[in-house]
Amino acid sequence: MVSHGKVKVPVWYWIVSIVALIWNLMGAMAYLGQAFMTEEMKAAMPMEQLALMENTPAWATAAFAFAVWGGVLGCIALLIRKKWAKMILMVSLLGILTQMGYSYFMTNAVEVYDTAQGVVMPIVLIVIGAGLVVFANSAQKKHWIN
């Protein structure tokens, strides 16, 4: 599918990239919501969840930031068809794995949160993060990004 020396990108590539950007923007909003949480919002949280959040070390919070902002930047790179999208999405995945590793192995988050938030959501995040790296790798091999 070559047109005037350029590889034609299928419509589904754009759909996946836009949906992925929206997904990562929602993650960025969650990060900002946590970073700028007011005292009133904290008072409304269950005590166990607040304790988990307030006792999170800076490196785990930094992993969260790398995960979400790397995801946003990586998806923007996909939309502007830059091959560095793969590297940025790999950084995002590393952030996800670090953050989820901390939650699973160094805290009692699975006990504190319900099954959907404590078990299912972390798995979904890892699968989507890995899927975006695979997607970017495939797009690079097909010369959709360069």
End-to-end CA distance of the chain: 16
Mean pLDDT in residue range 40-54? 90
Copy the structure tokens of residue 114.
């319900």
Confidence check: pLDDT of 135 > 60? yes
Please report the beta strands in 10-98, taking only residues with DSSP state E, as ranges in sequence order. Answer: none
* pTM (2 d.p.): 0.89
Distance CA 143, CA 140 (A): 5
Share of the chain above pLDDT 90, in %: 75
Q: Does residue 3 surpass a pLDDT of 50?
A: no
pLDDT for 4: 42
Residues 25, 31, 35, 39, Cα dihedral to 10°: 100
Q: Which of 110, 115, 119 is nearest to 52 (CA)?
A: 110
Task: Return all residues near 130 (Cβ < 8 A) that are at least 6 apart.
Answer: 93
